[in-house]
Amino acid sequence: MTEKALRLGTRRSKLAMAQSGQVAEAVSQVTGRPVELVEITTYGDVSREHLAQIGGTGVFVAALREALARGEVDFAVHSLKDIPTTQPDELVVAAIPVREDPRDVMITRDALKLTDLPRGARIGTGSPRRMAQLNAYARSHGMDFETVPIRGNIDTRIGYVTKGDLDAVVLAAAGLNRVGRSDEVTDFLSVDTVLPAPGQGALAVETTADNAELIAALAELDDLFTRAAVTAERSCSPPSRPAAAHPWARSPISWPTGGLSRKCACAASSGRPTARRWCSCPPPVPYLRRTRRRWRSVANSPPRCSRRARPV
């Protein structure tokens, strides 16, 4: 007799289905049980409002969490950057699997790079973080382009460029990789130009705190380095707001040789003022000998900024 299937709650978008399908396969392997996808529509999927207005409340995750709490699904897969930084007591992020490419990328007409865009170019993005940093980049490099607020799934956003409505769109490399469209990228944006959102490229596999058996099974999918890195990144976000919804960006790029070194940026969407600073955690040396628990405490420690924020 086959064991009862585990129910995985997922959003319906092509990207969500792709990432949930990948997690479903891995969970099925570690548990030996079939995994069935349960499609759930979230407010973020149906609302046409701008992300800057609605993004602060976890609009992409609330309905999934409600389904978990009601026992309609056994676990859920979220994009980590979409979940608020305060964790409800009754839910546990049991696994953060190995992260995809955290960078933002551009898809432009005529395969142009960001630096080659003509004066007055129109760049589509609904993310306040991307707008702010692109506008700051334009100001400091004497460039002139306009950021245009757009929303929609990957196909819709790329469509703005292929149909000729916009000169460029900015998306996450991770999402494009997951749906197999990374060959359309025309420029991988350096993290010095646009810092990714905290947790970008990582997934969070969440279940209920009382499901000890499933928590233990899901722990096998957890990647220690990804968990430490994203925890450090998220410690910079204002509490309870998902990383994708505000202009803070933070990325722990330089490790594993020293401590965790984090860079963060904050900007108004006009592009000014922008503060960037480097922050560092106490160096966990020799980190490889430290226990999992010790690493978590390092990742959770508040950032110590080595320099005062300075405008760029």
Alpha helices by DSSP H, the chain: 14-31, 43-46, 51-54, 62-69, 128-140, 154-162, 173-178, 212-218, 224-234, 292-300
The only residue of 63, 73, 82, 187 in contact with ligand PBG, by rule CB under 6 A: 82
Tell me: does residue 206 bind ligand PBG (CB under 6 A).
no
| Nearer to ligand PBG among residue 180 and residue 273 (C-beta) | 180
| Residue whose entry in the numeric block shows the structure tokens 């707001």 | 241
Whole-angstrom distance, CA of residue 281 vs CA of residue 305: 9
| Nearer to ligand PBG among residue 74 and residue 82 (C-beta) | 82
| Nearer to ligand PBG among residue 201 and residue 303 (C-beta) | 201
Tell me: does residue 244 bind ligand PBG (CB under 6 A).
yes
| Nearer to ligand PBG among residue 64 and residue 174 (C-beta) | 174
Which has the closest alpha carbon to 197: 293, 270, 131?
131
Task: Name the phi and psi angles at 127, rounded to 5.
Answer: -90, 120
310: left (phi over 0), alpha (psi -120 to 50) or beta: beta
Q: Restricting to residues 267-306, which ones interact with ligand PBG according to CB under 6 A? A: none
Calculate the CA dihedral of residues 45, 48, 50, 53 and round it to 10 degrees.
Answer: -80
- The DSSP bridge pattern shows strands 274-280 and 261-267 to be antiparallel
Tell me: does residue 175 bind ligand PBG (CB under 6 A).
yes
The only residue of 94, 174, 185, 298 in contact with ligand PBG, by rule CB under 6 A: 174
Residue 82 is among the residues annotated as catalytic for this protein: yes
Tell me: does residue 208 bind ligand PBG (CB under 6 A).
no
Tell me: does residue 79 bind ligand PBG (CB under 6 A).
yes
Interface positions with ligand PBG (CB under 6 A): 79, 81-82, 171-172, 174-175, 200-201, 244
Known catalytic residues are: 82
